[in-house]
A and B are shown apart, each in its own frame.
Chain A
Amino acid sequence: MKWVKFVNNLFVIVDAINQGSFSHLTRHRIPGAMPFGAKYRLIDFTLSNCKNSKVFNVGIFPYGNYRSLSDQIGSGSRWDLNRRRDGVFLLPPKVIVNTIDHEISFQRMYEHLEYFKRSTQEYALITPANIVMNVNYNDLLEKYLDAEVDLATFLTDDYRLLKIYIIKKDLLLDYITKYDQIQFRNLSDVFDFSSSIKKTSIRLENPSFLIESSQDFFHANMQLLMEEVRDKIFDSERPIYSKETMSAPTRYGEHAIVKNSIIASGAVIEGEVINSIVGRKAHVKKNAKVLHSILLNHSNIGENSVVEYSILDKETIVIDDAKVHGTIDQLFVSEKKQIVTSEKRLTILQVSAEVEPYMKTGGLADVVGGNAEAYSKLGRKSLVIMPLYPKIYEKYQLMLKHEIDQTITFGGEDFKASLYSLTHQNTVYYFIETYQFFERDKIYGHDDDDFRFGFFSLAVIAFLKNLESYPNIIHIHDWHSALIPMLLKEKNIDIKTLLTIHNIEYQGKFTTEVLEKLNIKTKYNFIRPSMLNFLEAGIHLADKISTVSETYKEELSYEYYSKNLVESINKRARDFYGILNGVRDDVGPKNNLEIAKKYDLVSVFLAKPKNKKDLQKRLSLTENKNAFIIGMVTRIVEQKGFDIIIPALKEVLKDQNIQFVILGTGNEMYLKQLRDLEKQFPQQVSTNLTYNATNPDYIYAGADLFLMPSRVEPCGLGQMIALKYGTIPLVRQTGGLNDTIDHYDLSGKRGNGFKFYNLDSRDLIFQLNYAYSVFNEHKSDWNQIIINAMNSKFTIKDSAIKYIELYEMMV
């Protein structure tokens, strides 16, 4: 290695934007600031690599809450980065742009263009902040130069993406200055799609970990317990530096037993610690057992308690005798300062206007019904309450048990309300009958919806003591029951409430008349004169709020998405969670008799062509086994992205090998445009503009690509179903779509679909053509995507576990 060539010829951009999917571990910090390996923070590894590589120019791009990061870095002197020339630069966002990026964009770099221009080094290395590795960056630069490429990306020893790039500064600068003219938003776009530059991916042999989820975090920590990994990560030639902190030496009590564990200073160990990582000043008390767990700083494990497969965030307190059992697949993850009690007997009451299978108009019913069953299976007491609509009474008359009647006063009038129940697989479903309000066919859309659901909420509270067991959590869904927290406060009932927002569009805006009828005395400042927004009241007064995906939660902090409620939402940011919905286990091609040939992961490559043929035959498309079929099952409205879909289709359908099928109904304007499209390409397009009547499974089974470029998508179900069928989703990077679909990358062979960001038909065309080219020209990659897709798991159980974690944190 020619020394001179490598001296100070590299500057490092630290991408601390990646949020990963950490549930609550990163609520108070960004991933780069996460504690790691008992006494470090993730960023220490990158900064130490800089120091050990004699890199003195480091730019850090933080996201949102970067206090914990800047606290950790300080002046950078710990890493010799406090220099007269160069040094460490924290480059915060200048514009709060409305993007949910997982990677630093050229646009974001453009905000600090000066920094790039001033950097004198010839090459730039871009690395995520949430990475654990010990490497000399000059070795990477040497590999890059040896490969004689323009852009190199680096992979772990098991071929996972590290998201580290090396590029010439001039070329990078070129992308940055032209960010608004090029279709690449960031370096991974360039790597995946640019054909004009030379690029390569380089595998690194030393252990390295990109930490993007609680699982990654756990895995990498546990790897430290392996000597060969530990010796390479903590290479004494290249020490990892961290901010100097002071604590006493670790103190071991009389009966301490510690095996194969890393313990930071200041910890006090009086109990048993096996295969674990214990952070600074953690305290494991007498007879406590900590197994396969990570305790972050100041966590406190009570006497006789057991903690297994858990990540306990800073200052978590596990009370005496508590039992905390995670599993290797389902870690228990506590929130900062959480007090963990034993699995307390939870009684969860869900309140909803619709519940599958009793009454359903949309996805809400699926979620409530699915979760209710899952809670029971997971050993929690699960109760559901909803209005008794005539349709339910007709169908379930014989099974309904009459519980009790009550007279409820509402607006000075007395109403008779009857409570019915039905128990199914340990879940108790309750129905409230009051003929004046609920004896109607349509469940929403009446002029007196405010009175109906206001009364319903009042009745739910009146019947609380008549339920099989008294709930300690009331989980309310959407606006219909959003007045419950207010009523509970008015009546001084102390039950914790969680409000889930399934779609911010539905808010329940009415006058304040219903408040008088409900006899609400307190004056709330968020209620404007004579205007009552049910959802807003819920957002303000529920103990915690949640929505149906992490990305949608992030999006809701912007006015573009949450509109009039942006302020209320942001005020509750601390108590706001994103939990992804799941899809039922029985959905899918495995035991499906409705499709031509049922299949699973083993038989997919044999069965898919048969289902494709069946689809083409049913819908009278050209029967061509090589055709690329784009399928859609959707409501046909603007929200689903039809304004960009139709122009894009007109373009791509010029290739006769591409076919398009759609099932759904909705907005007449788009329906007409779709019919026109069918006329224009009769051999290639089939529109089936009805819904419900037809089973859509044959489309999921027969299509190659599932198109879902939604404008807004809180969670989305279609893409999750498509994954199960091995039908590859092409989605826009928004809401739940963003959280369920990973863009396939040709180098790492990971990803279960295709994803683009700009709501623009050109970008959609580009992405459709890309998907088509992979399908056509890289058959093995396409098969890999199918395997990855079918291996993606978004189950109701996973979703329910997350909700239970949240409930347990609340009680």
Chain B
Amino acid sequence: MKKIISMILVGGKGTRLGDMTKYKAKPAISFGGKYRLIDFTLSNLSHSNIDVCGIVTQYEPMEMMNYIGNGASWDLDYTDGGIQFLTPYLKKEDIEWQKGTGHAIKQFFDFVENYQSDYVLILPGDHIYKMDYNKMINAMEEDDSDITIASTRLVQDDLHRFGVIELDESNYITRFLEKPNNPTTDLVSMGIYIFKKDVLKELLFSNTDLPDFGRDIIPEALKQNKKILSYEFKGYWRDVGTIQSLYNANMDMLDNPGFLGLNSSKNLPIFSRSLNLVPHIVLYAGLVQNSVIADGCKINGQVKHSSIAYQVDIKSHSVIKDCVVFSKVQIGEFVHIENAIINEGVIIPKNYESINSKCVLITQENLYEMGEIRE
């Protein structure tokens, strides 16, 4: 018997992230030099002492499974529970691909039943935030609601990417609009749900097919007059669904030295699988300012206001400004790049130049569309 178990949905393909997600699921995307998006959710679970975590995979799970392993890097390697991968498998008739988030949970409901828990915490695996889920659970218990949804207020103009929530005066959700064209409030769902297990079971296994939480299950629950509480989260939170938003979140990290308390030992750390790399070195011609650099890099060029992931090699006389560089990128001499995300493993030739006014994604394939070799 556990009080709560968690399930992380890491199946998203993240098509709006272009070639970044060509060979990997969205939660495996690199962030801030040494993290992957999934690190935030796993670290939150770890700090919230939630010790059962089912990871529901579908799209390109290999890299994800490799990365997470048994979860020891996040202290989630428990003998009773811990990390378990829930991958699509062949049922009697056919391989069942998941048609939506709700569908994914339904498919592995055996896993939930197995632990006989009171609550089920459902988490997306690709958001950047630091949150103690216990506070949300407490709020829910105090209120004895059936469902609790974590919500946050956004000031940005792309509210139509999110599920927008309307509340009554006691924070109960009265209306839930998934990706509306004309949002009515600035309060959006973070895609984090806690269900009473029985309520979840009832909804998932009702006669109507409800494949997706945002689109189908929550509206249905509202229809059935379930008590749905909104738990408002006030900290930093980003769902980096697009190239621009991923870029912006990286820049947020660079511009705020206290970003999620990453570099302060007084805060709970965000864990990440460390790759046993040598520490990075800055050589004589190197200059690094306003940036973060991960292990294994060799920097002999100029890096300004950029986030550099593992094992990046930057040769002399090159300038990298306002960029997000993924791991294993090699940058030759006399290269000048501004305002770009450089995809994993891209090899940038000598004298390459790509100066952009708006963030672009540079991959091996589109290298010469995005820039050119200077004469």
A binding-site residues for B, Cβ under 8 Å: 37-39, 225, 230, 234, 239-242, 244-266, 268-269, 281, 298
Is there contact, CB below 8 Å, between A298 and B265?
A: yes
Is there contact, CB below 8 Å, between A263 and B265?
A: no
Is there contact, CB below 8 Å, between A260 and B283?
A: yes
Across-interface contacts of B271 in A (CB, < 8 A): 246
Given known pairs A37-B279, A244-B73, A260-B284, the reply for A253 and B290 (CB within 8 Å) is yes
Q: How far is the CB of A502 from chain B (nearest CB, A)?
A: 43
Q: How far is the CB of A176 from chain B (nearest CB, A)?
A: 36
Across-interface contacts of A244 in B (CB, < 8 A): 73, 274, 276
Between A and B, 19 residue pairs with Cβ closer than 8 Å are A37-B278, A39-B279, A242-B276, A247-B269, A248-B269, A249-B32, A249-B292, A249-B307, A249-B308, A252-B303, A253-B289, A259-B282, A261-B282, A263-B279, A263-B280, A263-B281, A265-B34, A281-B265, A298-B265
Given known pairs A248-B34, A248-B263, A265-B294, the reply for A255 and B289 (CB within 8 Å) is yes
19 further A-B contacts with Cβ under 8 Å, apart from A258-B287, A262-B280, are A234-B278, A242-B276, A244-B274, A244-B276, A245-B274, A246-B73, A246-B272, A248-B33, A250-B293, A251-B292, A252-B292, A253-B289, A253-B290, A256-B290, A258-B288, A260-B281, A260-B283, A263-B279, A298-B265
Q: Which of A239, A242, A260, A264 has its CB near the most chain B CB atoms (within 10 A)?
A: A260
Nearest chain B residue, comparing its CB with the CB of A280:
B279
Considering the complex of A and B, which 3 residue pairs feature the smallest CB-CB distances, nearest first? A249-B33, A248-B262, A38-B279
Is there contact, CB below 8 Å, between B263 and A262?
A: no
Chain B residues 261 to 320 lying within 8 A of chain A, measured CB to CB, are: 262-263, 265, 269-272, 274, 276, 278-284, 286-295, 303, 307-308
Across-interface contacts of B276 in A (CB, < 8 A): 239, 241-242, 244
Q: How far is the CB of B248 from chain A (nearest CB, A)?
A: 18
Q: How far is the CB of B182 from chain A (nearest CB, A)?
A: 40
Q: Which of A234, A258, A298 has its CB near the most chain B CB atoms (within 10 A)?
A: A258
Is there contact, CB below 8 Å, between A262 and B279?
A: yes
Nearest chain A residue, comparing its CB with the CB of B262:
A248
Is there contact, CB below 8 Å, between B286 and A259?
A: yes
Across-interface contacts of B18 in A (CB, < 8 A): none
Is there contact, CB below 8 Å, between B288 and A256?
A: yes
Q: How far is the CB of A230 from chain B (nearest CB, A)?
A: 8
Q: Which of A246, A255, A256, A298 contacts B269 (CB under 8 A)?
A: A246
How far is it, in angstroms, between the C-alpha of A28 and the C-alpha of B187 when the chains are bound? 53
Q: Which of B270, B284, B292 contacts A250 (CB under 8 A)?
A: B292
Given known pairs A250-B292, A252-B288, the reply for A263 and B282 (CB within 8 Å) is yes
How far is it, in angstroms, between the C-alpha of A597 and the C-alpha of B185 when the chains are bound? 101
Is there contact, CB below 8 Å, between B281 and A252?
A: no
Is there contact, CB below 8 Å, between B290 and A258?
A: no
How far is it, in angstroms, between the C-alpha of A257 and the C-alpha of B285 when the chains are bound? 11
Q: Which of B257, B279, B283, B284 contacts A265 (CB under 8 A)?
A: B279
Across-interface contacts of A234 in B (CB, < 8 A): 278
Is there contact, CB below 8 Å, between A266 and B263?
A: yes
Across-interface contacts of A246 in B (CB, < 8 A): 73, 269, 271-272, 274
Across-interface contacts of A39 in B (CB, < 8 A): 278-279, 295
Nearest chain A residue, comparing its CB with the CB of B278:
A234
Given known pairs A244-B274, A268-B263, the reply for A251 and B257 (CB within 8 Å) is yes
Nearest chain B residue, comparing its CB with the CB of A78:
B276
Nearest chain B residue, comparing its CB with the CB of A268:
B263
B binding-site residues for A, Cβ under 8 Å: 32-34, 73, 257, 262-263, 265, 269-272, 274, 276, 278-284, 286-295, 303, 307-308
Across-interface contacts of B279 in A (CB, < 8 A): 37-39, 262-265
Is there contact, CB below 8 Å, between A259 and B288?
A: no
Is there contact, CB below 8 Å, between B281 and A262?
A: yes
How far is it, in angstroms, between the C-alpha of A174 and the C-alpha of B160 when the chains are bound? 80
Q: Which of B73, B283, B290 contacts A254 (CB under 8 A)?
A: B290
Across-interface contacts of B73 in A (CB, < 8 A): 244, 246
How far is it, in angstroms, between the C-alpha of A256 and the C-alpha of B257 when the chains are bound? 14
How far is it, in angstroms, between the C-alpha of A234 and the C-alpha of B280 when the chains are bound? 12
Across-interface contacts of A281 in B (CB, < 8 A): 263, 265
Nearest chain B residue, comparing its CB with the CB of A260:
B284
Q: How far is the CB of A399 from chain B (nearest CB, A)?
A: 58
Across-interface contacts of A259 in B (CB, < 8 A): 282-284, 286
Q: Which of A248, A254, A268, A298 contacts B289 (CB under 8 A)?
A: A254
Across-interface contacts of A225 in B (CB, < 8 A): 281
How far is it, in angstroms, between the C-alpha of A674 and the C-alpha of B272 when the chains are bound? 74
Nearest chain B residue, comparing its CB with the CB of A254:
B290
Q: Which of A234, A255, A298 has its CB near the most chain B CB atoms (within 10 A)?
A: A234
How far is it, in angstroms, between the C-alpha of A230 and the C-alpha of B296 when the chains are bound? 12
How far is it, in angstroms, between the C-alpha of A154 and the C-alpha of B286 when the chains are bound? 38
Q: How far is the CB of A194 from chain B (nearest CB, A)?
A: 41
Across-interface contacts of A252 in B (CB, < 8 A): 288-293, 303
Is there contact, CB below 8 Å, between A258 and B291?
A: no
How far is it, in angstroms, between the C-alpha of A324 and the C-alpha of B32 when the chains are bound? 34
Q: How far is the CB of A48 from chain B (nearest CB, A)?
A: 9
Q: How far is the CB of B114 from chain A (nearest CB, A)?
A: 28
Given known pairs A247-B269, A248-B263, A251-B257, the reply for A261 and B289 (CB within 8 Å) is no
Across-interface contacts of B274 in A (CB, < 8 A): 244-246
How far is it, in angstroms, between the C-alpha of A256 and the C-alpha of B282 when the chains are bound? 12
Across-interface contacts of A254 in B (CB, < 8 A): 289-290
Q: Which of A38, A253, A260, A263 contacts B293 (CB under 8 A)?
A: A263
How far is it, in angstroms, between the C-alpha of A234 and the C-alpha of B32 when the chains are bound? 25
How far is it, in angstroms, between the C-alpha of A269 and the C-alpha of B287 when the chains are bound? 12
How far is it, in angstroms, between the C-alpha of A13 and the C-alpha of B295 when the chains are bound? 31
Across-interface contacts of B270 in A (CB, < 8 A): 248
Across-interface contacts of A298 in B (CB, < 8 A): 265
Nearest chain A residue, comparing its CB with the CB of B299:
A258
Q: How far is the CB of A579 from chain B (nearest CB, A)?
A: 34
Q: How far is the CB of A301 from chain B (nearest CB, A)?
A: 15
Q: Which of B265, B279, B294, B295 has its CB near the most chain A CB atoms (within 10 A)?
A: B279
Q: How far is the CB of A220 from chain B (nearest CB, A)?
A: 15
Given known pairs A245-B274, A268-B263, the reply for A261 and B281 (CB within 8 Å) is yes
Q: Which of B281, B283, B291, B292 has its CB near the most chain A CB atoms (within 10 A)?
A: B281
Q: How far is the CB of A316 from chain B (nearest CB, A)?
A: 15
Q: How far is the CB of A212 from chain B (nearest CB, A)?
A: 24
Nearest chain B residue, comparing its CB with the CB of A277:
B279
Given known pairs A244-B73, A246-B269, A259-B286, the reply for A251 and B278 (CB within 8 Å) is no
Across-interface contacts of B272 in A (CB, < 8 A): 246
Across-interface contacts of B262 in A (CB, < 8 A): 248
How far is it, in angstroms, between the C-alpha of A552 and the C-alpha of B167 when the chains are bound? 77
How far is it, in angstroms, between the C-alpha of A250 and the C-alpha of B73 when the chains are bound? 19
Q: How far is the CB of A55 from chain B (nearest CB, A)?
A: 19
Across-interface contacts of A239 in B (CB, < 8 A): 276
How far is it, in angstroms, between the C-alpha of A375 and the C-alpha of B206 when the chains are bound? 88
Q: How far is the CB of A777 from chain B (nearest CB, A)?
A: 49
How far is it, in angstroms, between the C-alpha of A733 and the C-alpha of B206 when the chains are bound? 85
Across-interface contacts of A264 in B (CB, < 8 A): 279, 295
How far is it, in angstroms, between the C-alpha of A250 and the C-alpha of B270 when the chains are bound? 14
Q: Which of B257, B293, B303 contacts A249 (CB under 8 A)?
A: B293
Across-interface contacts of A263 in B (CB, < 8 A): 279-282, 293
Nearest chain B residue, comparing its CB with the CB of A241:
B276
Q: How far is the CB of A4 from chain B (nearest CB, A)?
A: 30
Q: How far is the CB of B52 from chain A (nearest CB, A)?
A: 22
Q: How far is the CB of B138 from chain A (nearest CB, A)?
A: 27
Across-interface contacts of A265 in B (CB, < 8 A): 34, 279, 294-295
Nearest chain A residue, comparing its CB with the CB of B307:
A249
Q: How far is the CB of B156 from chain A (nearest CB, A)?
A: 26
Across-interface contacts of B32 in A (CB, < 8 A): 248-249
Q: Which of B278, B287, B289, B293 has its CB near the most chain A CB atoms (within 10 A)?
A: B278
Q: How far is the CB of A49 from chain B (nearest CB, A)?
A: 15
Nearest chain A residue, comparing its CB with the CB of B283:
A260
Is there contact, CB below 8 Å, between A256 and B289?
A: yes
How far is it, in angstroms, between the C-alpha of A597 and the C-alpha of B284 when the chains are bound? 53
Across-interface contacts of A242 in B (CB, < 8 A): 276
Q: How far is the CB of A668 from chain B (nearest CB, A)?
A: 66
How far is it, in angstroms, between the C-alpha of A460 and the C-alpha of B288 when the chains are bound? 57
